[in-house]
C-alpha cells in the first residue's frame, strides 16, 4: 500500500511549482538547522568567549570528514526508495526501509567509535591552535555520542523525502531545534558550562529527533512502515544502496578532506582567524543549505520519474533546479553581503573577528551559485543511476584542485584572500564538470530507451 493520496505526484503535471513546494520545507529545515547551529556558536561565543567560539568552529570540517561516508549512504536510500515508489513496488520499498534503518544504526555506532578515538590526534594533526585544542577535543567527544541518533534521523528523513514528504522532517527538526536552543542557554548561561554545554544540548536534541521519526515510521500505514522485528539487511537492496550511496559518500569524504586541509591553513593564522572563519562559514550556510534543498528535490523527482520511465521530464527538472539555484544566490547572497557585518556581530564583539569574517564572506559570495550547480547536478545524475562519474568529477574538479591551489598559489602568496579564493575557483571548475557529466548520463539513458523500444518492435 503506497498511500499516494497523501504524497506528491512527481511523475505528472507541472514541475516548477511542485519542485518549489517540495524544496521549500527542506530549505526551511536546513535554515532552521543552520540557525540552531548558529545559536550554539552565538551562545558559546557570547558567554564563554572567542576561544570557545573558535574551539567549536575548528571541529566542523573534521566532524564532516568522519561522518560523511556513512551519511552518503542515505543518498542511496533516497534514490532507491524514490525509484521503487515511482515504479509502484511496495514490497521493494519496505525492504529498502528496513535495510536502511539497520545500516544507519550500525553505521552510527561505527562513526561514534571512530570519532571518539580519532578526534584528538586529528585535531592535533590539523594544527589546531594550542589555546583551543582541549576545548575542541571535549566538544567533539561529547558530540559524537549523538551520532547514532543523527544517522537514524537522516536515513529516516531520506525515506520520507523519497516518497514526497519533505514537511515532516522539517517539523521534527523545528521541535528538536527549539529544545536544543533552550538547553544551550540553560547549560551555558545558567550552569556556566562552556563547549560541553552546547555539545550535550546537541546530543539530547539528536536523540529526540530520532525518537520522533522512528515513531512516525512505526505508526505509518503505508509501504514505508517500519517494524523493529523486521530489521535486517536485504543483500540486493544493500547492493543498490551502496552502488549509489558509497560514491556519494566518497565524494563528500574527499570534499571533507580538502576542507580539512583548508581548515589547517586557516588554523595557521591563529585562533582569531579560526573564530572569524567559523562565524562567516555559518552565515554563508544560509545560501549553501538553501541550494542543498534543490539537491534533495533533484534526487527525488528524478528518481521517481526514472522509476516511472518518464525520462523526458528529467531535462525539465534540471532546468527548474538551475533557475532556482540562480534566484536563491541573487536573493540570499545579496542579503548575506548586506547584513554580513551585523550578523557577524551576533557571534562576537571582537572587531578583528568581524573584519576577517566579512572578508571571507565577500570572497565567497562572488560566485556562490557555482557551488549550487556543483552540488545539485550530481543529484540528477545519481538518480539516473550514475554515481561514480559525479564522484570522480568532484575528486578532480574540487578536491584535487584545492590541494593544487594550496600547494601553489597559496604557498606562493600565503594571504587570507588567496586562501579563500580557492573556493569559488574550484566550485566553478567542478560545477562545469558536473553539468557535463549530467549531459553524458542523459545521453546514455536516451540510448538505452531507444534500444529497449527497438527490441520490443
Please say if the pLDDT value at position 253 is more than 90: no
pTM listed for this prediction: 0.74
Angle, CA of 224, 230 and 235, to the nearest 5°: 85
Q: Which three cell numbers stand for residue 450?
A: 531507444
Backbone angles phi, psi at 12, to 5 degrees: -155, 160
Share of the chain above pLDDT 90, in %: 21
Please say if the pLDDT value at position 212 is more than 90: yes
Angle between helices 235-267 and 271-307 (to 10 degrees): 160
Confidence of residue 4 (pLDDT cuts 50, 70, 90): very low
Contact, 361 vs 337, CB < 8 A?
Answer: yes
**Model pLDDT, residue 119:** 80
**Model pLDDT, residue 230:** 86
pLDDT tens digits for range 76-132: 788 888 888 877 888 888 898 899 899 889 988 988 898 888 888 877 876 777 777
Backbone angles phi, psi at 226, to 5 degrees: -105, 135
Give CA–CA dist 75/78, Å, rounded: 5
- Cα distances from 167 to residues 175, 189, 243, in angstroms, run 13, 33, 28
Higher model confidence: residue 399 or residue 35? Answer: 399
Amino acid at each position: 500500500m503506497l498511500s499516494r493520496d497523501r504524497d506528491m505526484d512527481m511523475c505528472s503535471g507541472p514541475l516548477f511549482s511542485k519542485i518549489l513546494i517540495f524544496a521549500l520545507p527542506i530549505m526551511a529545515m536546513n535554515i532552521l538547522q543552520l540557525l540552531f547551529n548558529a545559536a550554539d556558536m552565538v551562545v558559546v561565543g557570547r558567554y564563554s568567549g572567542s576561544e570557545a567560539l573558535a574551539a567549536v568552529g575548528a571541529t566542523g570540517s573534521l566532524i564532516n570528514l568522519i561522518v560523511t561516508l556513512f551519511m552518503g549512504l542515505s543518498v542511496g536510500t533516497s534514490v532507491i526508495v524514490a525509484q521503487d515508489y515511482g515504479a509502484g513496488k511496495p514490497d521493494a520499498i519496505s525492504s529498502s526501509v528496513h535495510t536502511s534503518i539497520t545500516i544507519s544504526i550500525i553505521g552510527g555506532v561505527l562513526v561514534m567509535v571512530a570519532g571518539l578515538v580519532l578526534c584528538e590526534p586529528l585535531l592535533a594533526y590539523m594544527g589546531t591552535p594550542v589555546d583551543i585544542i582541549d576545548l575542541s577535543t571535549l566538544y567533539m567527544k561529547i558530540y559524537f555520542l549523538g551520532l547514532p541518533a543523527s544517522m537514524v534521523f537522516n536515513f529516516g528523513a531520506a525515506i520520507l523525502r523519497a516518497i514526497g514528504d519533505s514537511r515532516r522532517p522539517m517539523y521534527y527538526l523545528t521541535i528538536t531545534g527549539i529544545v536544543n536552543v533552550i538547553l544551550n542557554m540553560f547549560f551555558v548561561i545558567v550552569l556556566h558550562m562552556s563547549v560541553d554545554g552546547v555539545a550535550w544540548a546537541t546530543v539530547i536534541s539528536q536523540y529526540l529527533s530520532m525518537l520522533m521519526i522512528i515513531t512516525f515510521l512505526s505508526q505509518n500505514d503505508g509501504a514505508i512502515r517500519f517494524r523493529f522485528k523486521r530489521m535486517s539487511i536485504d543483500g540486493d537492496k544493500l547492493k543498490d544502496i551502496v552502488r549509489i550511496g558509497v560514491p556519494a559518500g566518497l565524494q563528500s569524504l574527499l570534499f571533507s578532506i580538502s576542507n580539512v586541509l583548508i581548515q589547517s591553513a586557516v588554523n595557521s593564522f591563529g585562533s582569531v582567524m579560526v573564530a572569524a572563519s567559523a562565524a562567516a562559514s555559518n552565515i554563508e550556510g544560509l545560501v549553501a543549505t538553501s541550494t542543498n534543498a534543490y539537491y534533495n528535490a533533484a534526487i527525488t523527482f528524478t528518481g521517481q520519474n526514472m522509476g516511472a520511465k518518464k525520462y523526458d521530464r528529467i531535462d525539465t527538472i534540471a532546468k527548474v533546479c538551475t533557475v532556482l539555484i540562480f534566484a536563491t544566490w541573487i536573493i540570499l547572497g545579496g542579503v548575506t553581503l548586506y547584513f554580513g557585518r551585523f550578523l557577524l556581530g551576533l557571534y562576537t564583539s571582537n572587531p578583528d573577528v568581524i573584519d576577517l569574517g566579512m572578508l571571507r564572506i565577500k570572497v565567497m559570495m562572488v560566485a556562490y551559485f557555482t557551488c549550487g550547480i556543483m552540488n545539485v547536478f550530481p543529484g540528477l545524475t545519481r538518480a539516473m543511476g550514475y554515481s561514480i562519474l559525479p564522484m570522480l568529477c568532484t575528486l578532480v574538479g574540487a578536491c584535487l584542485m584545492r590541494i593544487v591551489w594550496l600547494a601553489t598559489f597559496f604557498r606562493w602568496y600565503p594571504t587570507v584572500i588567496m586562501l579563500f579564493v580557492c573556493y569559488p575557483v574550484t566550485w566553478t571548475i567542478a560545477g562545469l564538470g558536473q553539468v557535463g557529466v549530467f549531459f553524458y548520463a542523459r545521453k546514455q539513458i536516451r540510448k538505452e530507451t531507444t534500444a529497449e523500444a527497438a527490441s520490443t518492435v
